[in-house]
Structure 1
């Protein structure tokens, strides 16, 4: 429970963040705010804001609470989601981002319209809106509400309402610019709080003998929790099926999330230049390498300190009891910071897709001011829907992170096939793209029904290959897309600056070291 000092520190953080967001938003008052200002921060974001905002958008309740819970149940192997994401970010920055920026887009569906047609754009736009509202927003709100109930003793429903109102208060007016710049503070606080909690957890495990001694206690006392590649005999093999983590479905999931996910890639699209965007992505890659130390390690320590938790997702909130007075309020603020940052990012992207890909097609003659107003309304309505649906959808699941991956994995293979073939193979047709989208769901449900013992990550790999085969066959049987401008790569440079290349090499070296050490 929080005492008066913790509450005062937390309230001070909330008020300070709101004041900063309003100050940032006021800088745009010299002209009427248009859609580029609101949805893409006037394309003015520097690399450090992009990198920080990428991580703040990604690391939320489902990551902190969910991955810590998976660390409690599974162990260090769940860190593959974070570590493999680092190398995925490098690939996205080098090979995919130049194409998107060259095509001058606001949204991922907009690119699909340029490359294919309105049918493909609308289909994927509706899919993303559904997933963001009914999976991502609901998960963040639900886990955030549970965390507030555990730490502060406030009912989870009131906690969710507070989170929704807080995120709207600082993001609704200022748009992406307010979100991105306040994310810098969020990330600093998140990393500081997470590292401090890991330090205190390891020190507690070793009975005050220090971090190294605590890590040794965990590694020797819980050897199964430090296996990066799980064997078939492991009870959690279905979630992380051995070597497939390195060569199979996890690649597909990461490419989809970091390359084609609107609320992630939108930060890079708002960069001053392609070089700034790539620097920001490289910065985010290194922060991803650090994340398991912040979110997974406390969960593993909780196995020793709190062995009888009702559900794994209680691990991180329970570990916060280690925090001394005052610091607990700061770390609680860091947790809330991660949650509201993701909520703001998701609602901003929901409003961007709805406004730019759906509403503008229905009402094409409206003013820029009107579209910004519609975007704000979409943000508000999406949060109301998520508040109402959070408990019915997620209330019965022990590990929310695994549930999210399982659900999104149904559609991920088809999305990756559509984008990769659309970007790098001119013969891909609109009919083939639609067939991949439909096939992804049909193949996934069929395999789940008739081959239930197949790990979901392996299922993603198989569905990806099936969707790829369908796309190639349908494309070869049809007429190639006539609009070649968006797929013409002859004028796109995939060359990168030396700083980016050095950063990429460093990520590869660190990843190899980590996996060799904990194989």
Structure 2
């Protein structure tokens, strides 16, 4: 498929407009230079709508649109559990985690770990996250995004990665998180409009022009196996989504780690004007998550009928774009690129934040604020360059990159969730216990992977979570914290966990919608 002149014009207008808006929102008052707070936390000035939009824009990227559509092509609607369960997870994060983080006035997740435990825990986790963000997240977004551009336009994958990296830097490098967050509202609107229109056209084609509902009815009738939310043990894809584990098992651990303790996600809530504003943004994001399967999963299922002979599942979404009318095809292409570059910008900003504030600042304490901003910009560029170099060797051989990402991160997420949850809510947790849980997560996961390979990875995540919980309790009780260390525990009685009526009603609405969805597609 090639883009027409009209499609290219639409796309070029989007690129130029986004860069222009980013520089406009990033401008500073005369005489004021950006400090670290401005660059990494947007001066703690983000309103709820920017927070909610930015959470989704950072999350929905190539690994979701391309990768999850590919998984929809193979697995069906069951993969939507990652989206729908995330909505409820967001509510819990807003209710119980965000109040603690904002009370601590932190920049990064490693910084919280240092306040709660010690510098050892902070350094270990900072180095770990830098590795994951560069070699897993950034590479996945670049590779899948470049693959999509290659499928749509024929541009070489290498050149496509260079374009994506350069574009993300062009609009985010100067303004930092503020530029990313305030332009993300445009990205999300474009993403939703483009994605819904692609789903509309796909369903209409399946029904031979009889309408969306007729197309959806045809799809469910022709492919009933693609609309099982809870997979049975005899399903060939049970190892990817093992039955009830998506509701009561390892899926919770994956989601809590991602939405609660993932720097490039939680960073925009740390930049909220206030706790209430941050919680409103999280609610907004939760409702958007309920909508996402219509945009990222349904097209993949539709492609089973419209493009049944794909060589790779991850080609489903780009292939469907070929059916879009001229001009609108350019809009959907812009929406896809918007999702990719917004995630790249968020990830590189978070890599820069962790490296600068958690590692570099410790050895350059006397430097000026403007110096730290400059270092952050350099790190952003270097992180993208490294990710471009290693993307194809790491991901080129995988058919479903989304599942690869989940499998890899599942080695470490149980320990991350354990050390954060116990560190936040159990005052006796010690630094040694936290380190043991973090390292034990990798050891236990690798052991199960080698010696119990048939165990579904999501069940493995749940089992390792329980083992790490035992380890952190045992280590903390065997050698209790000193009186000074005990004073670092979170004083829960001083944290305000009270939420507004609108937040509570929204939480109930999200829960009821989820119940309805799972009852319908059980």
TM-score over 0.5 for the alignment?
A: yes
Indicate if the aligned counterparts of 1:417 and 1:464 stay in contact, CA closer than 8 A.
yes
CA offset at residue 24 of structure 1?
1.0
Q: Deviations over 1:376-396 (max 9, x none)?
A: 001000000000000000000
Measured against aligned partners, the alpha-carbon deviations of 1:424-462 in whole angstroms (never above 9, x if no partner) come to 001100000110011000000000000000000000000
Contact 1:33–1:369 (CA under 8 A) maintained in structure 2:
yes
Asked whether 1:13 is paired with 2:51, we answer no
Shift of 1:27: 3.6
- Structure 1 residue 497 and structure 2 residue 490: aligned? no
CA displacement at 1:28 relative to structure 2: 4.9
- Tell me the equivalent position of 1:86: 87
What is residue 253 of structure 1 aligned with on the other side? 254
Alignment of 1:54-133 (within 5 A): 54-133=55-134
8 Å Cα contact 1:103/1:486 also seen in 2: no
CA displacement at 1:464 relative to structure 2:
0.3
The SS at the match of 2:273 is: coil
Kindly report which structure 2 residues correspond to 1:463-482, keeping only aligned pairs within 5 A, or say none.
Answer: 463-480=464-481, 482=484
Q: What is the match of residue 507 of structure 1?
A: 510
8 A contact 2:427–2:489 mirrored in 1: no
- 1:271 match: secondary structure: coil
- Listed one character per residue, the Cα deviations across residues 187-238 of structure 1 (whole Å, up to 9, x for unaligned) are 0000000000000000011111110010011101101000000011111000
- Secondary structure of 2:242's counterpart equals coil
Q: Does the 8 Å contact 1:77/1:225 carry over to 2?
A: yes
Any gaps of 5 or more consecutive residues in structure 1?
none
Q: Deviations over 1:79-136 (max 9, x none)?
A: 0000000000000000000000000000000000000000000000000000000000
Residues 50, 182 of structure 2: 8 Å contact kept: yes
8 Å contact kept, 1:229–1:243: yes
Q: Which moved more, 1:28-37 or 1:225-234?
A: 28-37
Deviation at 1:479, TM superposition (A): 2.2
1:398-477 equivalences in 2 (<5 Å): 398-477=399-478
Return the alpha-carbon distance in structure 2 between the equivalents of residues 313 and 4 of structure 1.
26
Q: Return the alpha-carbon distance in structure 2 between the equivalents of residues 459 and 325 of structure 1.
A: 47
Please show how residues 193-212 of structure 1 align to structure 2 within 5 Å: 193-212=194-213
Partner residue in 1 for 2:490: 487
The CA distance in 2 between the partners of 1:211 and 1:103, in whole Å, is: 49
Cα distance in 2, alignment partners of residues 51 and 486 from structure 1: 30
- 2:517 and 2:457 map into 1 onto residues whose CA distance is 25
TM-score, normalised to structure 2, is 0.99
- Give 1:32 shift: 1.5
* Structure 1 residues 28 and 200: CA distance shift in structure 2, 3 A: farther
Q: CA RMSD for the aligned pairs?
A: 0.7
Question: What's the counterpart of residue 218 of structure 1?
Answer: 219
Q: Give SS of 1:490's match.
A: helix
Query: What secondary structure is seen at the aligned counterpart in 1 of 2:492?
Result: coil
Residues of 2 paired with 1:393 and 1:153: CA distance?
A: 22
Stretch moving more, 88-97 or 487-496: 487-496
Aligned partner of 1:176 in structure 2 is: 177
Q: How far does residue 161 in structure 1 lie from its aligned partner after superposition?
A: 0.3
Q: Deviations over 1:332-368 (max 9, x none)?
A: 0000000000000000000000000000011111100
Structure 2: segments with no counterpart, 5+ residues: none
Whole-angstrom distance in 2 between the partners of 1:15 and 1:29: 25
Q: Following the alignment from structure 2 to structure 1, what is the Cα–Cα distance between the partners of residues 155 and 206?
A: 29
**Following superposition, which runs of at least 4 residues in structure 1 exceed 4 angstroms of deviation?**
none
CA contact under 8 A between 1:426 and 1:480: conserved in structure 2? no
1:186 corresponding residue in structure 2: 187
Is 1:516 matched up with 2:519? yes
Secondary structure of residue in 1 paired with 2:366: coil
